[in-house]
Amino acid sequence: MPQWLNVSFHVFILLVMLGGLMISVIPIVPSVLIIWLAALVYGLVAGFGTLGMWMFVLMTALAIAGVLVDNVLMGTKAHEAGANWLSIGGALLAGVVGSFVFPPLGGIIAAPVVLFTIESIRLKESAEAWRITKSLLTGWGLSSLARFGIAFVMVGAWGIWVYLG
């Protein structure tokens, strides 16, 4: 590969990863998967090598953790506040569908609105439903911080792969 193309390729992968890192604080957006896909493309084009394979395995485990952390933290916080799992599942489904139908904010708006609506109907009390919805939003905040940390480590692992590999 010519030097200019090699440099351009590395810069492109880095920009995709930094973009994934920046959007990692936005709930529902699959930022860690964007970073993981960029690493996969890098490995397929530039070659994995021994170090690259280990870094990619690490990045794969981190990507799985990053995807799960959203659902676990937001669902757990809402459940601890009294939401039933059906309401949480409805909010999750609304978040995913909303993200595809009205990107980028559709899911961010749809999930808490659906949780509040279902819990208001279930409990027949909007103040309690609002308290539960705030717990969901707290879980989102915590998951955003965790996802940012995971994304940061993933980009760092790729940097080690490139620099030492």
**pLDDT tens-place string over residues 55-100:** 999 999 999 999 888 778 888 999 999 999 999 999 989 988 998 8
Q: Angle at the Cα of 11 (from 13 to 22), degrees rounded to 5?
A: 60
Provide the whole-model pTM.
0.85
Q: Which two tokens stand for residue 30?
A: 């699959």
Domain count, the chain: 1
Sign, CA torsion 130/131/132/138: positive
**Residue 31: which domain range?**
3-164
- Tell me the residue length of the chain: 165
62-74 per-residue burial string, b: 16 or more CB within 10 A, e: under 16? bbeebbebbeebb
pLDDT in tens, 101-153: 987 788 889 999 999 999 999 999 999 999 999 999 999 899 999 999 999 99
